[in-house]
Amino acid sequence: MIDPQILRDDPDLVRESQRVRGEDPALVDQFLQYDTAWRKANAEFDRLRSEQKTLGREVGEAKRTGADASSLMARGEALADELTRLGEVRDQALIARDGALLALSNLVEPDAPRGVEGEVKVLSEHGTVVAGHGAHPDHVEIGTRLGVLDVERGAKVSGSRFYFLTGQGALLELALVNYAMQVASSHGFTPVIAPSLVRPFAMEGTGFLGQAAENVYHLADDDMYLVGTSEVALAAMHSDEILGEVPLRYVGFSPCFRREAGSHGKDTRGIMRVHWFDKVEMFSFTSVDAAVAEHQKILGIEREILDGLELPYRVVDIPTGDLGASARRKFDCEVWVPSLGEYREVTSASNCGDFQARRLKIRRAAKPDNEFVATLNGTAIAVPRIIIAILENHLQADGNVGVPSALRPFFGGRSQIAA
RNA sequence: GGUGGCGUGUCCGAGUGGCCUAAGGAGCACGCCUCGAAAGCGUGUGAGGGUUAACGCCCUCCGUGGGUUCAAAUCCCACCGCCACCGCCA
């Protein structure tokens, strides 16, 4: 959530942020209206409550000395009724206020490019693109032939958008996971295996129950959620804590579950868009001041991982109209997919500022006052899409697939995947 | 899933309706003492919110949420978590 003080002091800043996101600036005025009402009710409630406490002490004193307390108690009764009534007014006002606050998306970073979905700003391009669109065999064809991927049986067992990785495909996932873990941990990220089933507050706190709610699996019997990314568990890990030293950096492995509602008919072939996959995710808690630099650090590690895999990719700056609710700014790396003849997202690094930390109550010890931390996340490896990229970009003339040298130590030293 | 026990501040721990405005201890910080340190003595020591130009003042927080009462850490209900044992299970 946004700092209420910013909304009071500089509402235009928030209105402008909402506007460039393509969201409703009027929420700001709703908030201000409810906030004023709440503060008024709150002050009145506090005043009466103070009177009630004083009275309570007087009643106690009267009972001890044997004096008549009946008039005091009568006054107390009237006060109690009034407090009940005022308490309800106050609580209603607070609920309305918080509702408006929760509905507001994070402030965008000043440098984030203005624009709507699809208007990506390309920051850089790396590696050599393989021609082939249409003529180039796709990952399903290659993977099936080499016995590393089985989408037909995935569909038989679990439905569309499920798959089996088999043989060297299964080992390839483990190699990628270990490789990514190793690179990230060499940059100070602590490896974590995180729960992928979480309680509602974790989902709410990371901002996934707002506009993204339709893509989340919910287990109604237990009121728990299957996470779409380990970001959820990693962020909530330190909820309700006051941290000592920051930054804290984690690299977490977890399965990820996505309903993919609203994407019917998109990427229906293969494992580009699936309901379940495994991912290695980086997550940092920093001071608010250090967040922009940390964002670059995370992006740098993502690039190091892709460079090591010898994949052609580009880095894009996501326009404000396409940012998630929690993100101030987002950089994606998009890898070249020869069979599609286009770049597709494989990593995504977001700076969430203190937006998630406010919801999850994650602070750090600081001088005059403790302050909320900034949270940042970025993909180290999203397994299926990287497998697509490797199968297609490293396809050799003999039909086998080359294994980039950086990955070989994690892949039994093998230099290629062969049938 | 069953039975029993437990949940108080940074930690330990007292507290069974009203000076709890939470005892006491430990830890920590500062001061005194000391050549210096330890010990001892003294003072201070949480989080959030409202209000104020500021000093300050007020409110909330004893696992969470309800309830009873003029008044709740304390009584009642529900839930959550932890521990032990039993059952089941990888």
Residue A406: Cβ-neighbour burial (10 angstroms; 0-12, 13-18, 19+): middle
The C-alpha atoms of residue A353 and residue A66 are separated, in whole angstroms, by: 60
Name the amino acid, one letter, at A151. Answer: V
Q: How confident is the model at residue A71, as a pLDDT?
A: 83
Residue A329's nearest CA partner among A339, A321, A337 is A321
DSSP assignment of A210-226 equals STTGGGSEEETTTTEEE
Q: Is the four-CA dihedral A195, A383, A275, A353 of positive or negative sign?
A: positive
Q: Is the four-CA dihedral A405, A408, A409, A410 of positive or negative sign?
A: positive
The C-alpha atoms of residue A137 and residue A139 are separated, in whole angstroms, by: 7
- CA A221, C1' B88: Å apart? 20
Q: How confident is the model at residue A418, as a pLDDT?
A: 94
Return the closest nucleotide (C1') to the Cα of A45: B59
Which sequence positions of A are flagged as catalytic? 258, 273, 345, 348, 385
Domain A121-417 has what CATH class? alpha beta
Order of all β-strands in the sheet with A342-351: A121-126, A313-317, A329-337, A342-351, A374-382, A276-286, A248-257, A190-193
- CA A243, C1' B30: Å apart? 25
Q: How confident is the model at residue A208, as a pLDDT?
A: 87
- CA A240, C1' B82: Å apart? 18
- CA A296, C1' B53: Å apart? 41
Return the closest nucleotide (C1') to the Cα of A72: B70
Residue A252: Cβ-neighbour burial (10 angstroms; 0-12, 13-18, 19+): buried
Output the CA–CA distances (angstroms, integers) from residue A317 to A22, A114, A273, A324, in the order listed: 17, 10, 22, 13
Q: At how many degrees (to 10) do helices A26-65 and A11-21 cross? A: 130
Return the closest nucleotide (C1') to the Cα of A77: B70
The C-alpha atoms of residue A353 and residue A2 are separated, in whole angstroms, by: 10
Domain ranges of chain A: 4-103, 121-417
Q: Is the four-CA dihedral A348, A354, A359, A362 of positive or negative sign?
A: positive
> Which bases of strand B sit closer than 7 A to a protein CB?
18-19, 21, 47-51, 58-60, 70-71
Return the closest nucleotide (C1') to the Cα of A36: B50
- CA A244, C1' B28: Å apart? 15
CATH number of A4-103: 1.10.287.40
Return the closest nucleotide (C1') to the Cα of A74: B70
Q: How confident is the model at residue A166, as a pLDDT?
A: 97
- CA A54, C1' B41: Å apart? 37
Strand B CB-contacts below 7 Å: A 4, 39, 42-43, 45-47, 49-50, 52-53, 55-57, 59-60, 63-64, 72-73, 76-77, 79-80, 242, 363, 369-370
Q: What is the pLDDT along chain A (419 residues), one digit of tens a residue?
A: 899 999 999 999 999 999 999 999 999 999 999 999 999 999 999 999 999 998 888 888 888 777 787 888 888 888 999 998 998 899 899 989 999 999 999 999 999 999 998 888 999 999 999 876 778 999 999 999 999 999 999 999 999 999 999 999 999 999 999 999 999 999 999 999 998 988 888 888 888 887 778 899 988 877 888 999 999 999 998 888 888 888 999 999 999 999 998 888 889 999 999 999 999 999 999 999 999 999 999 999 999 999 999 999 999 999 999 999 999 999 999 999 999 999 999 999 999 999 999 998 888 888 777 889 999 999 999 999 999 999 999 999 999 999 999 999 999 999 999 98
